[in-house]
Structure 1
Amino acid sequence: MAGGAVASVGGNAHIQHLVDPNRTWYNNRRLIFLHLWILLLLITSSTNGFDNSLMNSFQSMPQWEDYFGSPTGGKLGILNAIQNIGSLAGYPFAPYLSDGLGRRTAIWIGATIMLVGVGVQTASYNLSMFIGARFCVGFGLTFAANAAPMLVTEISYPTYRAPLTSLYNSLWYTGNIVASWCSYGTERIDSTWSWRIPSLLQGLPSAFQFFLVLLAPESPRWLVSKGKEAQALQTLAYYHANGNEQDPLVQYEFEEIRAAINLDRENAVNVGWTALFKTPGNRKRIMLIVAIAWFSQWSGNGLVSFYLNKVFDTIGITDSTTQLLITGILAIWNLCWAVFASFLVDLAGRRTLFLVSCAGMVVFFVGQTICSAEYALHGSAAAGHAVIAFIFLFYAAYDIAFTPLIVSYTVEILPFSIRAKGFNVFNFVVSLALIFNQYVNPIALENIAWKYYIFYCCWLFFQLVFCYLFIVETKNRTLEETAALFDGEDLSARVIDGGGVAVDEVRHDEHEDAPKISTLSERPTFPHDGSSSSDEKASV
């Protein structure tokens, strides 16, 4: 694995003097365009959120229930699980598309397949057709969801990388919101269009990506891995330094990427599926990735995400309009907390957010369990309302870490050589956990009702202990530097030898007037030369 050449230095302080202080996301035209491209990638998560929320809304919609014969038990389980079964079918191919054809191409292929699935789902006239369409959506989503967050983290400007990557999974709730409120509005339509319209809207993110994503910048790391170093340097310079290839930050990024990938090429242990388990550092990575992937779906949130209407039934809220309204409000609540937490990742740190999130979930889920029991045993209306309050509080705690961090943390702890494969493992485990939950939850709720919550109370306490013992802090490091936290300083130092050029000795011999950086402690003078002309600044 590739380690950062200066990974012994914590935080972004060692590269802060390489960043032009006048180049910010709101006043630099090329950074604005870069962030628009990143937004196109981030909405991949909206498709996933839309589909998952759609099934929850459909189950509260009489028109859908009547049309498909009010599926229950195992049939309802397969309806909710089939998208993830489709995702499982795509996992063997996803990393090869991302690493072989490129991040952009993999996203485009995924978007195309999802559009086919959305079309079939909207036109469904029986349950088999509906199930097949959801399988197709899940299959396509695998390719897009594997490549999109990696491309976000690999093209982002260094100071904005962590919040932007964290926003990826947070925007799951934008799809959740559109699906919930669209279903709330169309529920009044007395025909099958009450559920066909929300199904059709599910394809909007994929439609944007189908037409635009191939125009977005490709990952400089992927380009270097394919021997296209000149194109990689040009991409970094265009978006990170207004086209100035001799910019100190661009040179630092480029040399660090090249050194890390050159080392991977020289060490066969760093490539292939077996590389995920060959070194102590990689085994620790996989342990963390599998754990947070499983935790993300086994925190009790699956009861709300897919079976909120069943939870409502256990506390006496049976009106479909009321159920859809609460679902829509909960989606907005979740988005606000997740986005808020996304901008705390570098300030508070990943470990702190994980621990606060786990502790909060334990407290609030225990409260939800107690109130559910009180309602079931004594029929207390106040206890039923308290369950709703605890659901909202529980999700606030969940959204502090397990919405924004599960993707960004996974991507950043994986070096480039195994990033696609390791992230594929993450998605695979998520799907396994979802499929298990989606089969078990409706059966358990139907048979033991609130007593099922006790299991999650115990499991949430286990999650808290695990995160306390094993979560590694990674805030304010470059992607290459994070590897040193897992692989040690010896491998970090070898990146310099493997790359042939030390990344802390960036020099610009061809341009005598450009800043010369012999050590990272020397600060260049800004503003740069004429390459940062005023016409590159956006009007604000």
Structure 2
Amino acid sequence: MLKQTFTGTWLPAWVPESTLTLSFLLIICSIVQSATGGYDGSMLNGLNILPSYTDYFNLNPATTGLNTASVFIGGFFGPLVSGVAADSLGRRPAIFWGCVITLVGVLLQTAAQNIAMFVVARIILGFGSQVSGIAGGVYLSETFPSRWRAWGVGLLNDFYYVGALIAAGITLGTGTWQSTWAWRAPSLFQGIFSLGCIIILPLIPESPRWLVNKGHLEEARIVVAQTNANGDLLDPVVLAVYKEIVDTLRWEKEERKVMTSKQILKDKVSRKRLLIGMSAGPFSCIAGNIIASYYLGAELDTAGITDSLQQLKANVVLNVWCLGCCLGGTHMAAKWGRKPTALLTQSLLILCLFIIGGLSKIYADDPDGASKSLIYGDVAVMFLFQGFYSIAWTPLLYLYPAEVMNYSIRANGMAFSSFMLNACAVLLVFVMPIGIANIGWKMYMINGGWDIITLVLIAVYWVETKGRTLEEIDEIFEGEKHSNVPDVELVRSGKVHLDVAAVERQLDTVTEEKKLE
């Protein structure tokens, strides 16, 4: 049964009454956005192996890097508008327009006649996917109940590998075609995910935190009830969540916590939240997965596997393995914690990079005399590396920044994190094929070195956010919670009794004051 729900925007919503059904739709929204990025990375992996693609554009290492990195050029500019769009237009409309722009880029990429057209198309595609991805990360973190947030938002990036697996399978299937459709068909199919997201948007509500911020208090309460208790407005958990949101956003406005970018940098607490939150983007980018995400063929060449069909098959197996690892990592982040999961992953990545570098050096010194066990060992560690990367960085990329940053800086902070990720990616995706071609195994050693620095920064500065609502995380940074209701999980578990009548009276007072403003 669907119920029309006020959204405060031009984009209407007919929301299921069942919280379970609604949560399922939110997860699908997360999945289809995630799959777009994964599909793109794996598709380019496959295309960079296909002679029909490389010969059509007459690619060399520099133009290969440009074709691949151009999506990050668009991704570089997308964050400049995504935060503002999500705050002003609403979370859902921002997702909608991002998906529309992505579809335009997909169509142009499919029809590309030369490198210039292909690059422009991928810039548009990257721009749109960043707008929808950032808005989606903010939206899902603000809409999912805290008990499911790790899974709901973690899947926003986990299903990167589902998209990657689909792309790997499609490029493997079209790889034998003797026409440009060997690469055009995979390009065209990329649009299916954005289209799916557009179809789902009218079936999910607007962010309750965005609604409260815009003054739509009762409407926000309805959304909280829909996402937590099958629409029951008097459920104690609903009242606790709603009261926390109202009190915290009211405090932010009264304390002038809604700040410009310059004011954020001047405010010690906001600056700390921004820097810790945005670090997930560049940390995940420089970890080393850029090599296997976009240049698996070149990476396998350094290990002695040069047959294009074998490389395409390896691409498929790699994505199955990574999908399993990131789902396991999401479970760890939910049960064990965000910071411990990140520390585990980073330690394993450092170990793998130095092993890969060492084995690749042995192969490079004597490729003709290299044993099969050496080659297979190198490939095995490459696969382990990608799986270890997926354990933490895949789910935490969108989950952690949204949790660390409060409402006033969340959208722009998420945008800044993605901006820094794409700034690093534009450089690394362009440089990596040139670096691998010129210094080979040394690239792994260099990457391992800066990963050690990242490990130290996470250990010293990251905070743990597990088990708290977005408003309760304020206590870590501000030193206090800005609402007088008990923590939501205590209410949900029955450890603390919530005085429903007293909370109702407090909310009535807030509503009356709002009407007088």
Structure 2 equivalent of residue 33 of structure 1? 22
| TM-score (norm: length of structure 2) | 0.89
**Which shifted more, 477-486 or 154-163?**
154-163
C-alpha distance in structure 1 between counterparts of 2:432 and 2:192, whole Å: 30
The 5 Å alignment of 1:238-249 reads 238-249=226-237
Q: 1:176 to 1:275 in 2, by over 3 A?
A: farther
Q: Deviations 1:188-214 (Å, cap 9, x if unpaired)?
A: 111111111111110011111223313
Confirm or deny that 1:61 pairs with 2:43: no
| TM-score (norm: length of structure 1) | 0.85
Aligned-residue offset at 1:234: 1.0
Q: Deviations 1:144-187 (Å, cap 9, x if unpaired)?
A: 01111111111112311122211211111111111111101110
Give the alignment partner of residue 308 of structure 1, picking from 288, 296, 320. Answer: 296
Aligned-residue offset at 1:520: 7.3
The 5 Å alignment of 1:167-316 reads 167-316=155-304
Structure 1 equivalent of residue 442 of structure 2? 451
Confirm or deny that 1:87 pairs with 2:81: no
Structure 1 equivalent of residue 485 of structure 2? 503
Structure 2 equivalent of residue 433 of structure 1? 424
Q: Deviations 1:289-329 (Å, cap 9, x if unpaired)?
A: 34332121111111111111111222221111001110111
In structure 1, give the amino acid aligned to 2:82. Answer: A
Runs of 4+ residues deviating >4 angstroms: none
Q: Deviations 1:228-256 (Å, cap 9, x if unpaired)?
A: 11111111112321221111111111110
Aligned-residue offset at 1:524: 8.6
| Corresponding residue pairs, total | 478
Q: Contact 1:351/1:473 (CA < 8 Å) preserved in 2?
A: yes
Structure 2 equivalent of residue 532 of structure 1? none
Structure 2 spans left out of the alignment, 5+ residues: 1-16, 501-517
C-alpha distance in structure 2 between counterparts of 1:141 and 1:457, whole Å: 30
Q: Deviations 1:109-154 (Å, cap 9, x if unpaired)?
A: 0111111111111112222111111111011112101111111111
Structure 2 equivalent of residue 46 of structure 1? 35
Q: 1:524 to 1:190 in 2, by over 3 A?
A: farther
Q: Secondary structure at the match of 1:270?
A: coil
* Structure 1 or 2: more helix by fraction: 2
Aligned-residue offset at 1:101: 0.8
C-alpha distance in structure 2 between counterparts of 1:199 and 1:363, whole Å: 36
Q: Secondary structure at the match of 2:295?
A: helix
C-alpha distance in structure 2 between counterparts of 1:523 and 1:356, whole Å: 38
Q: How much identity, in percent, do the aligned residues show?
A: 33
Aligned-residue offset at 1:278: 2.9
Aligned-residue offset at 1:505: 11
Structure 1 equivalent of residue 121 of structure 2? 133
Confirm or deny that 1:423 pairs with 2:398: no
C-alpha distance in structure 1 between counterparts of 2:135 and 2:434, whole Å: 35
Structure 1 spans left out of the alignment, 5+ residues: 1-27, 497-501, 507-515, 526-540
Aligned-residue offset at 1:523: 6.5
Q: Contact 2:77/2:419 (CA < 8 Å) preserved in 1?
A: no
Q: Contact 1:105/1:214 (CA < 8 Å) preserved in 2?
A: no
The 5 Å alignment of 1:383-402 reads 383-402=374-393
Structure 2 equivalent of residue 107 of structure 1? 95
C-alpha distance in structure 2 between counterparts of 1:190 and 1:141, whole Å: 31
Structure 2 equivalent of residue 536 of structure 1? none
Q: Contact 1:280/1:487 (CA < 8 Å) preserved in 2?
A: no
C-alpha distance in structure 1 between counterparts of 2:487 and 2:386, whole Å: 47
Confirm or deny that 1:409 pairs with 2:407: no
C-alpha distance in structure 2 between counterparts of 1:202 and 1:224, whole Å: 36
Structure 1 equivalent of residue 467 of structure 2? 476
Structure 2 equivalent of residue 522 of structure 1? 497
C-alpha distance in structure 2 between counterparts of 1:215 and 1:33, whole Å: 8
Aligned-residue offset at 1:407: 1.4
Between 1 and 2, higher relative CO (CA 8 Å, sep ≥ 6) is seen in 1
In structure 2, give the amino acid aligned to 1:461. Answer: I
